[in-house]
Amino acid sequence: MKTENKENLFSELCSCGCFNSFKNQDIDFIKDFRHWFLILNYEQGFLGRCLLILKKHKTDEMELTYEEVLEKHKIYCIWRKAVTKAFNPDKINQAQLGNEEHVHKGHLHWHFVPRYRRPMFFVGVEFQSDTPETQKLIFSAVHKRLIYPLELRVRIKEELLKHL
């Protein structure tokens, strides 16, 4: 991928501008694919959490072409293997919610959320993990909006990229 403007990298990948407000795009960008791009979620409460964003502006999964669906699945599998090698989560949550339309105008994207049933540390920092009690709750009831320093996000991204 060639880019001139690292501050507004997502506008080159997704011309509708729905993700232009995201800050630190060059830090969080992970990988470009034909129909999608993968980024590190700036909220890393659960270590390795990522977003998969469709390049074309669509707002419902039924609008996806066969090629987009197939590529999404392939990317998930690639990411799943990478996050397993990097951090070994106990399970994965996938979510396609579209609740923050004020941010992205309903633009299709998926959340890939690794979940850990044990204390989770990376480079000396503790991340969120599940307890037997929180395993029974929905994601929004246990998710903490934790935004870590850019340097730490770079280290997380580098660890994922080793395995992608």
What would the pLDDT profile of 78-133 be if each residue is shown by its tens digit?
A: 999 999 999 999 999 998 877 665 456 678 999 999 999 999 999 999 998 887 77
Model pTM score = 0.87
Q: What is the mean pLDDT of the chain?
A: 87
DSSP string, the chain: ---S-GGGHHHHH-TT-TTTT-S-HHHHEEEE-SSEEEEE-SB-SSTT-EEEEESS---SGGG--HHHHHHHHHHHHHHHHHHHHHH--SEEEEE-----HHHHTT--EEEEEEE-SS-EEETTEEE----TTGGGS-HHHH----B--HHHHHHHHHHHHTT-
Supply 123's token pair: 């480079």
- HEC profile of 47-91: CCCEEEEECCCCCCHHHCCHHHHHHHHHHHHHHHHHHHHHHCCCE
- Domains, the chain, with CATH or none: 6-161 (3.30.428.10)
Greater confidence (97 vs 62) lies with 62
